[in-house]
Amino acid sequence: MRRSLMKQDYYSPYQNVYGGRQQPSYSYGFPPGYTTGGPIPQTGPSTAGPPKSPYSNIPGMLPLEESYIENILRLNRGKPVTVYMTFENNKEWNAMTFRGIIEAAGRDHIILSDPETGKRYLLLMIYLDYVVFDEEVNYDLPY
């Protein structure tokens, strides 16, 4: 004899071990103790500015918040470098190399000047693979 599936045959998270149905302990999908409005209580006085990093005072190291490529390049302005870049639709990993002096750097670009030709290059960071320095790299802030 074949038995048809009944509503009780399906698992419900509100079903207790005896097969009866339990009501959830909270309503509208919010867990107990959850509030949906009102001001957020303050637990203490607020401090001005972001929290300080424990690594920010290590000599010879940029603070973690400032160790971005553009900041490192700015600290080394005036130094000769070789910049390796790869562009879209190029089959070779080292598509282009640029040799020159670091003039400036921003979030999305590097400006190099070639002392031999007098040309200046505006290079986009999105294509940057790596930079090779000919001299020691400055990595700490000047203050």
Q: What are phi and psi of 103, to 5 degrees?
A: -95, -45
* 37 located within any domain: no
Structural domains counted in the chain: 1
> Angle at Cα 55 formed by Cα 51 and Cα 135, nearest 5°?
130
Does the pLDDT at position 77 exceed 60? yes
- Tokens 């590097």 identify what position? 110
3-55 pLDDT, tens per residue?
555 555 555 555 555 555 555 555 555 566 666 565 655 665 655 555 555 55
* 48 located within any domain: no
SS3 82: strand
Question: Which pLDDT score, from 0 to 100, does residue 84 have?
Answer: 93
Domain range for 99: 64-133
* 53 located within any domain: no
* 141 located within any domain: no
Question: Which pLDDT score, from 0 to 100, does residue 113 have?
Answer: 97
* 77 located within any domain: yes
* 1 located within any domain: no
86-106 pLDDT, tens per residue?
888 777 765 889 999 999 999
Question: Which pLDDT score, from 0 to 100, does residue 126 have?
Answer: 93
Burial 115-128 (b: 16+ CB within 10 A, else e): eeeeeebebebeeb
**Residue 15 DSSP class:** B
* 93 located within any domain: yes
CA distance 93 to 80: 22
CATH number at residue 81: 2.30.30.100
* 43 located within any domain: no
- Mean pLDDT of the region 103-117: 95
Alpha helices, DSSP H only, in 14-133?
Answer: 69-75
Number of H helices, E strands in the chain: 1, 5
Q: What are phi and psi of 66, to 5 degrees?
A: -120, 5
Question: Which pLDDT score, from 0 to 100, does residue 62 have?
Answer: 56
48, 46, 64: which is closest to 56 by C-alpha? 64
